[in-house]
Chains A and B, each alone.
Chain A
């Protein structure tokens, strides 16, 4: 690597396109909504930056606090389920025959490249009242003669509740969780596991006392990678949750589209940003501590 002073022309030619673009279409817009988040509406279209914290205070009103709390717990539950599914999958792929691994990994990642909207739509077709799942259940119901014994099958209301949102979140983000887990489990030194088993620890004990602590960086990365987009998710609660499962993302969208209260929407967006920064700081802190402890 050379110092930037050695070749200033090449330095600036390669630096400027990215820096300018990021500045114009990312950093300045972010600065604008940050300014707006401490601003007030003076008329239908004019917003004045007054340095007020009213918009942030407003987001702690009971009605919004409830939605924020709901977004957080839905995201936590969905992240936990993602982890519970993705860990065994990543583990299984790492311990599968080497020639299978790239194929299995591709199989996990591929759905991630399919449009989020399309995957959510595919779930609607499965879960709606006249959807595949209810149809299958009805078929099983009739197969067991329950229609004659109990009465006709009542389709379940599977959509438009918190459960549907959690299922949707897990479905959409699970592949994303597998990648960081796979990356750390693959690098795991298996002699530690052998040592633990040789010294008499059970498989479960080995898993929880050796494997999990050693793969902690991957677990933390995976959690953050999945939790942040879940928290700001707008599509899944909108399409699967309807009006019963509103999350912050829906409130933000509403402020910018229908309600036309941009300063409040900006404040809510920046609350999300603050959470993101906190999560990233936490990740840096955890990985620094683990590096210090294990000495990797």
Chain B
């Protein structure tokens, strides 16, 4: 069979009509439900089955739903705070693991990867238990510094701090991985040269290392932004009545059934995450060709 003369060589699996058909069908199945969701967000019908003409009224309706907008604002606020802090922590961690040799490094790397590998629900309940314990303990104070601290953290956006802290915990390891992957292509001699020429540790970091790893940092930042914006499980366990996020709100709506307002709100979220993801991938791409 392999020796049969045809236009297609024995290893040209990419030209196999069956494989192409299979791939084509898979991509259609993968995208059709999402495409339907987006298309029907513009459908002028409440029952959402047959196309009855173009409308943007469900976007207006979603926009006028105060609780939906509040949840959306919360989600964006959390994602922005999470991105800033997770990027700083993740970049520091990447530099740490890239630059230094130290005892038990393999174990540390394993632990750093844990938030990525364990089931999300385990982290969700763990964070819930932590906050309930801390909350229980803090409520015991009627006055004094801890009382004031408590008061302070009930003001927006600090009341979102608990959720944000959990988001940072699961997204900074991803940032660290992305930045470290970028750093592998870095020529360490440049760092040595900079120091030989009299630059301080900070100057070397700021003028030599940081510009090189910037694409990785930006990609990591956008990654943590989408991770935070998309998170449902962990937020579901930590969100209170006043700290609803967008996915948690959508979940409560979805449980009541399919409706075009959810389609409209979902479409907005899809567009935001996809734009962030595509920019992140563009940022990461050059590191591959250079390396």
Contact = CB atoms under 8 A, between A and B. Distances in A.
B280 to A, nearest CB: 9
A269 B36 CA distance: 36
Nearest to A280: B117
A22 B115 contact: yes
A94 to B, nearest CB: 8
A115 B130 contact: no
A208 interface: no
A203 B14 contact: no
A96 B19 CA distance: 10
Contacts of A93: 23
Given A10-B201, A272-B122, A121 B266 contact: yes
Contacts of A128: 258
B250 A17 contact: no
B245 to A, nearest CB: 11
Interface string B121-135: 111011111100100
Contacts of A266: 125, 129
A38 interface: no
B102 A4 contact: yes
A225 to B, nearest CB: 8
Contacts, number: 253
B181 interface: no
Contacts of A36: 129
A190 B11 contact: yes
A263 to B, nearest CB: 10
Contacts of A89: 22-23, 26
Given A25-B166, A29-B127, A85-B26, A121 B118 contact: no
A281 to B, nearest CB: 11
A293 interface: no
Interface stretch (B66-74, B149-157, B269-277): B269-277
A120 B33 CA distance: 9
A13 B102 CA distance: 15
Most A Cβ at <10 Å: residue of B11, B166, B237: B11
A226 B12 CA distance: 29
Nearest to B38: A122
Contacts of B262: 121
Contact of A197 (B2, B19, B119): B2
B227 to A, nearest CB: 9
Contact of A256 (B1, B125, B136, B254): B125
Most B Cβ at <10 Å: residue of A85, A117, A126, A253: A117
B24 to A, nearest CB: 10
Contacts of B133: 32
A153 interface: no
B137 interface: no
Given A125-B36, A266-B129, A14 B95 contact: yes
A160 interface: no
Contacts of A29: 123, 126-127, 129-130
B44 interface: no
B111 A125 contact: no
Contacts of B285: 102
Contacts of A69: none
Nearest to A198: B2
Given A21-B89, A117-B247, A228-B117, A235 B100 contact: no
Given A92-B13, A125-B36, 4 more contacts: A2-B101, A3-B102, A18-B89, A36-B129
